[in-house]
Amino acid sequence: MPQALNLMKESPSQTAGPYVHIGCTPNLMGIGGIYDTDLGSGPLYGEKAKGERITVAGKIIDGSGTPLKDALIEIWQADAAGLYNSPSETRGSADPAFSGWARCATDLETGQYTFRTIKPGRVPFPDGRPQAPHITFWIVARGINIGLHTRLYFGDEEAANAEDPVLARIEHKVRVPTLIAHRDGDTYTFDVHLQGEHETVFFDI
């Protein structure tokens, strides 16, 4: 017998609050004895990982210009060859020494987040066109009822960015720079603005 369509309705969204950190990063919150390390912490790569090792760092900034000290960020990305560490990856075998995913809470004093990762390769858009190298961000924090999705693109990939099919779909081109990370040495700085004049582009996915 078919089940009624209203059997399992979506529950209301709620702001993240402090329990996200307690549940997702207990060691950071001083709660030991649950996990040796918080899931997703540390570099995304192992010693034998292929590709250029980089650091991605920045802050999550609210509408008043204040960095959030209680935000939680997760990232997903392809490896240096443009392959995802996922069962759904059908184009080849991803680098086994690269996880492709990580989680980081912003520093409780400075609001800074930091990821140590590999610069990703290009991956195809559904129609086959190559996308520019990018990292997907998911952000939750106080006052955010539904996690925010955005992307980091690399400022030293001008040619690839110019032909990226996702960037091309952004109607207001003056907002494209909000998705671009700038390089200094092996570090890319990417600040995410939740509101205000420099509000980052977020994606409805």
- Phi/psi at 60 (5° precision): -100, 120
Rounded Cα distance between 138 and 107, Å, is 17
Structural contact between residues 97 and 53, judged by C-beta atoms closer than 8 angstroms: no
Q: Give one word for 173, left, alpha or beta, with left for phi > 0 and alpha for psi -120 to 50.
A: alpha
Name the one residue in this structure whose structure tokens are 């702001």.
Answer: 15
Tokens of 176: 């494209």
State pLDDT tens for residues 66-114: 999 989 999 999 999 999 999 999 999 999 999 999 999 999 899 999 9
Rounded Cα distance between 82 and 134, Å, is 10
Q: What is the CATH number of domain 43-193?
A: 2.60.130.10
pLDDT in tens for each of the 205 residues of the chain? 455 666 667 777 666 666 677 778 888 888 888 888 888 889 999 999 999 999 999 999 999 999 999 899 999 999 999 999 999 999 999 999 999 999 999 998 999 999 999 999 999 999 999 999 999 999 998 778 789 999 999 999 999 999 999 999 999 999 999 999 999 999 999 999 999 989 999 998 7
Name the one residue in this structure whose structure tokens are 């582009």.
Answer: 201
CA of residue 31 relative to chain centroid, distance: 25
Q: Which residues contact 10 (CB under 8 A, 6 or more apart)?
A: none
The reported pTM is 0.89
